[in-house]
Amino acid sequence: MYLGIDLGTSGVKAILLSEEGRVVASHSEALTLSRPHPLWSEQNPADWWTATDRAVSALSKQHALQSVKAVGLTGQMHGATVLDAKHQVLRPAILWNDGRSFSQCGKLEADLPDSRQITGNLMMPGFTAPKLLWLRENEPDLFAKIDKVLLPKDYLRWLMTGVFASDMSDAAGTMWLDVAKRDWSDKMLSATGLTRKHMPELFEGNQITGQLLPELASRWGMDCVPVIAGGGDNAAGAVGVGLYKTGQAMLSLGTSGVYFAVSDGFLSNPQQAVHSFCHALPDTWHLMSVMLSAASCLDWAANLTGTASVGELITLAQKTQPADSPVWFLPYLSGERTPHNNPNAKGTLFGLTHQHGPADIARAVLEGVGFALADGMDVLHATGLKPHSITLIGGGARSPYWRQMLADISGKTLEYRTGGDVGPALGAARLAQIAMNAGKPLEQFLPELALEQVHEPDSVKHTAYAERRKVFRELYVRLEGLM
């Protein structure tokens, strides 16, 4: 078997994949997020480790882990985890949805006019490099002590193997990688006062980076098996659902919302904040549009409306019909990346009257996230890449009602496959299986998951939603200055 570990924002998931490609067990442990100041978003790396240890220990009670041949790692991207020379964590990790480094982004682009050519991307807060510049300017004593900068899953790897290593897909999200060359860029590193010695060694997603340390192996009832590079959660999620060829795409409904498409060449649309990164398999790249708050808006709305769970919130929304006097929701609760690149963008409810109640708000939130996802799809398609199939993954994809609404809003056929909700952990386990079967054809280990439901867009509803989306977009344009 293969063990896949996904350090998500809302929790750590561990799954066991059988040699035949079946998920035989899984366990999740929740994580919380801290927002100590406006625009800040942090987690304590010690909590990541506690949750990981608990998740794997719980899995070992469901299923003996003695037959695990390799471990694959994946996780939330871009987080800055900084260690001192004794390899102690210096401060809470600054996460992917943290907007504090907006001015540092402008400074980096001004200092390095070719930064978009090297990285393929617009410099955005949330990416790792501008956060390190923020630390240099705002916490200089701490910055001076930094010996290593690690991405979240690579901090777990360090604790599991004693090795500093990363993979190309996650490293691409730092803005220190030359994405076309798949190597660290000395120029980008030096612009933030760092060198290669601060970075982990680079691997492709399906390469072995080290072995599980003996004390952990015995704690979890495993051998000292290889730990594989793995990938950022989106690239690994794509591998999990079998996406590695140009034209394959997915929509990931996690804390963030991501439209991800595989490309065999290096394309980009930095002006509209489309991300252009390496894929987790050699010689492949991908594009993605990222919205910072997607399914997390449902958690927020469930809390706001006093509904017990996201499932209940969706049931509430289902009781409403698209109204004559609708409510609109701008889902920018943590600012936004694609297409606005604006950490100061705000969540907004518009159109409320005495007639509206919690159900209308629930519906507006589901629709608003859908409109924002459709905006992201449009700007990705503007690169010329036109995917021929779109698979839904992530916790939000568990709702058939929301899945159909997203097909109606986007006007695209959306496919839901069994097991898509554990996508990244499954992808990490699949990368581990590929690594242990080097030389065999990839296709053998990347079967598409069984199709559970196909959501065809309803053309009448799509036309109505297209009208509503015009107002959604206009609202942002008019409110941007006030935000």
Ligand X SMILES: O=C(CO)[C@@H](O)[C@H](O)COP(=O)(O)O
Which residues, including other chains, have CB under 8 Å from residue 301's CB and lie 6 or more apart?
307, 313, 361, 362, 365
Q: Among residues 26, 60, 296, 391, which is the contact residue for ligand ADP, using CB under 6 A? A: 296
Q: Hunting for tokens 């200055």 — which residue is that?
A: 481
Choose among ligand X, ligand ADP, none what residue 38 binds, the Cβ cut-off being 5 to 8 Å by kind. Answer: none
Extract the tokens encoding 414: 């959306």
d(CA 333, CA 353): 22
Among residues 236, 69, 212, which one has the least CA distance to residue 151? 236
Should residue 169 be labelled a site residue for ligand X when binding is judged by CB under 6 A?
no
**Whose Cβ is closer to ligand X: residue 42's or residue 458's?**
42
Q: Among residues 1, 258, 316, 361, which is the contact residue for ligand X, using CB under 6 A? A: 258
Q: Among residues 398, 462, 468, 473, which is the contact residue for ligand ADP, using CB under 6 A? A: 398
Q: Among residues 43, 97, 169, 399, which is the contact residue for ligand ADP, using CB under 6 A? A: 399
| Residue 213 burial (C-beta neighbours within 10 Å; 0-12, 13-18, 19+) | middle
Q: Among residues 310, 369, 428, 435, which is the contact residue for ligand ADP, using CB under 6 A? A: 310
223 given a catalytic annotation:
no
Would you give the DSSP letter of residue 337?
-
Q: What angle do CA 429, 431, 433 make, to 5 degrees?
A: 70
Piece of 75-83, 182-190, 194-202, 457-465 that binds ligand X (CB under 6 A): 75-83
- Considering only residues 11 to 40 of the shown chain, the ones binding ligand ADP according to CB under 6 A are 11
Residue 27 annotated in ligand binding: no
Q: Among residues 282, 311, 400, 447, which is the contact residue for ligand ADP, using CB under 6 A? A: 311
Is-contact 235 277, C-beta < 8 A? yes
Is-contact 334 293, C-beta < 8 A? yes
Residue 78 annotated in ligand binding: yes
**Whose Cβ is closer to ligand X: residue 248's or residue 338's?**
338
Q: Which of 47, 233, 360, 421 is catalytic?
A: 233
Should residue 395 be labelled a site residue for ligand ADP when binding is judged by CB under 6 A?
yes
Query: What is the per-residue burial (b if ≥16 Cβ within 10 Å, else e) of 230-247?
Result: bbbbbbbbbbbbbbbebe
Helix axis angle, 459-479 relative to 400-410, nearest 10°? 80
Should residue 452 be labelled a site residue for ligand ADP when binding is judged by CB under 6 A?
no
Should residue 338 be labelled a site residue for ligand X when binding is judged by CB under 6 A?
no
d(CA 4, CA 240): 10
Piece of 78-86, 221-229, 292-300, 316-324 that binds ligand ADP (CB under 6 A): 292-300
Piece of 85-93, 142-150, 255-263, 278-286 that binds ligand X (CB under 6 A): 255-263
Q: What angle do CA 176, 442, 174 make, to 5 degrees?
A: 10
- Considering only residues 312 to 351 of the shown chain, the ones binding ligand ADP according to CB under 6 A are 314
- C-alpha distance from residue 369 to each of 69, 168, 184, 247, 410 (Å): 40, 29, 35, 24, 11
Choose among ligand ADP, ligand X, none what residue 383 binds, the Cβ cut-off being 5 to 8 Å by kind. Answer: none
**Whose Cβ is closer to ligand ADP: residue 161's or residue 399's?**
399
DSSP-based three-state secondary structure for 463: helix
Known binding site for substrate: residues? 77-78
Active site residue ranges:
233
The residues that touch ligand ADP, with contacts defined as CB under 6 A, are 8-11, 254-255, 295-296, 298-299, 310-311, 314, 394-396, 398-399, 402
The residues that touch ligand X, with contacts defined as CB under 6 A, are 8-9, 76-78, 96, 126, 173, 232-234, 254-256, 258, 275, 290
